[in-house]
Structure 1
């Protein structure tokens, strides 16, 4: 097949070299041994390094990859270009591209657009780019922006990457930042980078560095050591082989640092130096493996972690530093691995379920954990913790948790309920400490026995001879129903009559408390 002729009257030397190399996919390296920072490629850059000999127009690259008549070689055609200053917008939207595009150490002062395109792997490594767009694109292979700087945001909403997504070491700004313009461009055109009035881009986009709602990545997504000035929007995204953000720093202003509601991933690593200045929100997400915040730094005003209504096989919440509220409400975790200082502020736990707890936390730490819920007393967190202790065979700890639940509930009652609750607590520990009733009974029995031995009552019926036993008499007073027939046979005199009546009342109170406590103890844990 004959090679197409260039559709341009004049090509720069760099463009001509690229045109000749394209059919074989050979590299065109314009760096000439210089280690050039692509961010210096604008008009303020050194002319010696970024002169006309290194200029390639974006429309030339577009013409190459979109011209299917270019061929004639057994090798796969492609654009492989290093060290070029690319001017203009590289617009490949709506195209089907068979050739690979690999740019290295290039300065791209315009927008790279792959919206609605279908293409093979795209690699823009260590490049300096105004903006990258690939909304609804299908990329068969690798999408690689490792080490690049994208000044006005990356947009991948509803895109599909069949290979890996790589943004490791990438620096990403937001469309709200000052745009990068070609020399001589009309300053009034700057507004177009932020979405003109009436455009399809919502103004929220201005504060988002990576907009990737609905993104599907069949391989792994590596965002390690990324620096994002703006949020990462990953709502509904799917990462079949995991999302990895170790060492990334995300600084968001007025928007969540990570907004990943309903995200699905095989694993999500947000630890090992991951830093978020803003809320990390994964409401309704599903992680089939581990969600890790081990060694992360998390700071936000108000809520720092919003992990409600989500599922994960294991949540590792061991941050190096954390500031703000944590919300784990209505989530399900197989394993929750944390420590007491994982929750420096409020923590919402209502509806949270877990199979196992790990970490250096004592029972006192766990009870303090439950008391930090800003919603006040809620029974479910206590019942869940007690069920966990019972499941692992720690019945005494489970009883202590349920006793703490009753004490927390008591603070929500009116005065009569609080008084009755204090009485139940003091006498039998709401039924979870029944041995207290035995102590009270023993104390009253000993007191009554000692006093009635010193001041015995008078016999009522003098026609028969009876022997008085102070211990049996006191025991008969304490039992709600007379068993030993001592009450009717002896009558205390003077102040001891008040003691006898007090022992009878105490016996009824103890019996009532034991019955009430037993009913609480035997009631199913899910009862109101």
Structure 2
């Protein structure tokens, strides 16, 4: 004989109404379902049987305030309609593995033994807002045609993946935010999110986002736990939170050993959004981290000073105009030194009556192969060393800028 709850589920689905089992004087919180009356109870087997009766109908099953006891096996089913549960308590494991349905909402529910929904196909959205799941919430390989929302939920599985959504495909946005608390790890490896990925949660474990593909990364950089994995993660654009400085701090905190791909992905997102300056800043930081990651101490004695020179003078080739103020400063110094030199410091073997012009001589000394004066002046005494030094600096900057423009220093 069907229970009162089972009969009510069929009636509500056929009439398009909610089956509201809440009672006055009883708590709404499904975590306190032990205080509920038996009139609100249905076994997992009964629920599965009732849903089997309705699975070929385009109806919305809407249940509020039910206590479902024992395991619920809804795997390998095809539901033409939608399943909406609100403030329901599930005392046993719930399994939607390889099922298909229009939409699934389990908002404000309490799952005492996990929620399995791997390889599930949902035409529209999966909503688990303010839901508590003790055990793993598994969405591995599932396909969701709308959005995935875990806003305000609490997922607890300290010994493993509290949220296991590897290879999950979400056509719209995925929201892991608005007070979401995760006691455990989160796997989004090889998942695909066609809209925004909102991450602003308290996560005790790590986030495995390797090869995650996102259209818009709309996260809080501080929400990513240390030790998370970002290798292979790609995104087309970045949301409003976090400028280049903040994002570089984010990468430095998460990517503890040098990996070029996370920096390339961040630079690509900035370039796609038209933020070329931010993109260059990221690529320059990538080169700095690459060079700093070398562990050979003897090599570092040369590499690190050389890296600092390349960073400050040409930005490793991404900002060659940084050399301009350096060259201008050296030119001014040469001009000053030559202008204050005694008359005997510079002579010419071609007496033309043309006076010695310190600025033109500084330009000739500093810029290779450039001749701007009609008379060749020869330095004497200590000014020979000044002239030679400025010429060497000129050749150095010319060579470094040319190599930077050619991409010699742009390595992974």
TM-score by length of 2: 0.78
Report the equivalent of 1:299.
Answer: 182
| CA contact 2:74–2:96 (8 Å) conserved in 1 | yes
2:87 aligned with 1:169? yes
Report the equivalent of 1:483.
Answer: 371
Report the equivalent of 2:96.
Answer: 212
Report the equivalent of 1:57.
Answer: none
User: Could you list the per-position Cα deviations for residues 125-148 of structure 1 after superposition, in whole angstroms to 9, with x for gaps in the alignment?
Assistant: xxxxxxxxxxxxx66566666533
Aligned with 1:372: secondary structure? Answer: helix
Q: Which of residues 304, 310, 315 is equivalent to 1:418?
A: 304
- Say which structure, 1 or 2, has more relative contact order (CA 8 Å, 6+ apart): 2
Report the equivalent of 1:180.
Answer: none
| CA contact 2:238–2:270 (8 Å) conserved in 1 | no
Q: In 1, Cα distance between the equivalents of 2:311 and 2:374?
A: 31
Aligned with 2:174: secondary structure? Answer: strand
Aligned with 1:404: secondary structure? Answer: helix
Q: 1:482 to 1:36 in 2, by over 3 A?
A: closer
State how many pairs are aligned: 373
Aligned with 2:381: secondary structure? Answer: coil
Q: 1:243 to 1:460 in 2, by over 3 A?
A: same
Q: 1:492 to 1:308 in 2, by over 3 A?
A: farther
Report the equivalent of 2:274.
Answer: 393
| CA contact 1:170–1:227 (8 Å) conserved in 2 | yes
Q: CA deviation at 1:447?
A: 1.4
Q: CA deviation at 1:265?
A: 1.0
User: Could you list the per-position Cα deviations for residues 407-434 of structure 1 after superposition, in whole angstroms to 9, with x for gaps in the alignment?
Assistant: 2222124424433222211222223333
Q: 1:363 to 1:285 in 2, by over 3 A?
A: same
| CA contact 2:131–2:154 (8 Å) conserved in 1 | yes
Q: CA deviation at 1:371?
A: 2.2
Q: In 2, Cα distance between the equivalents of 1:427 and 1:453?
A: 27
2:398 aligned with 1:519? no
Report the equivalent of 1:153.
Answer: 71
Q: In 2, Cα distance between the equivalents of 1:355 and 1:462?
A: 65
| CA contact 1:458–1:493 (8 Å) conserved in 2 | no
Report the equivalent of 2:168.
Answer: 285
| CA contact 1:308–1:331 (8 Å) conserved in 2 | yes
Q: In 2, Cα distance between the equivalents of 1:399 and 1:36?
A: 63
Q: 1:436 to 1:291 in 2, by over 3 A?
A: closer
Q: In 1, Cα distance between the equivalents of 2:51 and 2:128?
A: 27
Q: 1:290 to 1:490 in 2, by over 3 A?
A: same
Q: In 2, Cα distance between the equivalents of 1:344 and 1:291?
A: 18
Q: In 2, Cα distance between the equivalents of 1:363 and 1:334?
A: 18
Q: CA deviation at 1:273?
A: 2.2
Q: 1:258 to 1:378 in 2, by over 3 A?
A: same
| CA contact 1:477–1:487 (8 Å) conserved in 2 | no
RMSD between superposed Cα atoms in Å? 3.5
Q: In 1, Cα distance between the equivalents of 2:399 and 2:181?
A: 52
Q: In 2, Cα distance between the equivalents of 1:469 and 1:259?
A: 79
Q: CA deviation at 1:162?
A: 2.2
Larger radius of gyration: 1
2:327 aligned with 1:409? no
- Long gaps (5+) in structure 1: 1-14, 26-33, 38-44, 51-82, 84-103, 122-137, 175-208
Q: Which of residues 237, 245, 266 is equivalent to 2:145?
A: 266
| CA contact 1:291–1:312 (8 Å) conserved in 2 | yes
| CA contact 1:314–1:337 (8 Å) conserved in 2 | no
More helix, by proportion: 2
Q: In 1, Cα distance between the equivalents of 2:399 and 2:176?
A: 50
Q: CA deviation at 1:347?
A: 4.1
Q: CA deviation at 1:285?
A: 0.8
- Long gaps (5+) in structure 2: 12-22, 27-33
Report the equivalent of 1:105.
Answer: 40
